Amino acid sequence: MAVNINGRLVAKDTCQALRPRIAALPRPPGIAVVRVGEDPASKVYVGRKTQRAERLGFHHKEIHLDVETSQVELEAVIDAVNADDLIDGILVQLPLPDHLDSTAILDRIAPEKDVDGFHPVNAGLLSQGRPRFVPCTPCGVMKLLERSGVSIEGKHAVVIGRSNIVGRPMAMLLEKANATVTLAHSRTRNLPDLLAQADIVVAAVGRPHFVKGEWVRKGSVVIDVGINRLDDGSLVGDVDTDAASKNAGWITPVPGGVGPMTIAMLMENTVRAAEFRTA
């Protein structure tokens, strides 16, 4: 049976380690979290982010806008937080309602306040191997691997999913840590054959139980980024965890695996932004 990787524990340690850095700042780190509309999952995630910021003593602004908010109105909100000296980090919770142009909004966030790491300047720096702000979820996965004592160098890592939020930056971080990386996606053929050669698997496809237990190579490390709500209300990942645990050497649970790390890394990125901005 696989060793369970406890994301709650690592997230807690990560946040505790920030406390002396926060205390050393001339003022509390400031974060603005912007949410548009009534997506229920976004409401939960934003609530967790602001709660964690509050517990760490951050100055925080939660900006909740009506679902009918226009592109121009949202851009004006971004401009205001960009100009607010007490705000170090800005996060616009995705997905935005369909009538809004998310790319234009993310491009408008000041790169030095882009604690989500989605701005093309930060994505470009990562792609050149000189990361500044790295998207929180893949950054959290790297910390989980490190803390679990998993060595990455020379390993074959298969990342499933090529989003700008997880898959693509994940592949870059693993490659920077000297893994040989395969970036698989919805058009990939013979995924089971690829997984049969994988030492590390990161599943970020957003489909419940997409990765079958029998695809998982004996002793491999399985990181499940998926959070899917089933019709019965239960939360499951992208991996069939029970079946995969019989083959994997290490595995992350859902919930309690990658999810808490995303929030912890957002806090760390915000502290880094505050350190840069107050230096």
Binding site for ligand GUN (CB under 6 A): 91-94, 116, 136-137, 165, 262
The nearest distance, CB 262 to ligand GUN, in angstroms, is 6
H, E, C per residue of 164-222: CCCHHHHHHHHHHCCCEEEEECCCCCCHHHHHCCCCEEEECCCCCCCECHHHCCCCCEE
Residue closer to ligand GUN by CB (options 65, 94) is 94
In whole angstroms, how close is the CB of 190 to ligand GUN at the nearest point?
Answer: 29
State the residue number with the nearest CB to ligand GUN: 94
Smallest gap from residue 2 Cβ to ligand GUN (A): 25
* Exposed e or buried b per residue across 64-85, where buried means at least 16 C-beta atoms within 10 angstroms of its C-beta: ebeeebeeeebeebbeebeeee
Considering the complex, state which of residue 46 and residue 191 has its C-beta at the smaller distance from ligand GUN: 46
Q: State in Å, rounded, how far the first CA of the chain is from the last one.
A: 48
> C-beta of 45: minimal distance to ligand GUN in Å?
7
Q: Where are the beta strands (DSSP E) in the chain?
A: 3-4, 30-36, 59-65, 89-92, 156-160, 180-184, 200-203, 221-224, 228-229, 235-236, 250-251
Asked about 16 being catalytic, the answer comes back as: no
Which residue out of 61, 93, 114, 240 is catalytically annotated? 93
Spot the catalytic one: 88, 114, 116, 224. Answer: 116
155 noted as active-site residue: no
- Of residues 137 and 220, the one with the C-beta less far from ligand GUN: 137
Of residues 94 and 236, the one with the C-beta less far from ligand GUN: 94
| 128 given a catalytic annotation | no
- Give the separation between CA 49 and CA 31, rounded to whole angstroms: 10
Positions annotated as catalytic residues are: 49, 93, 116
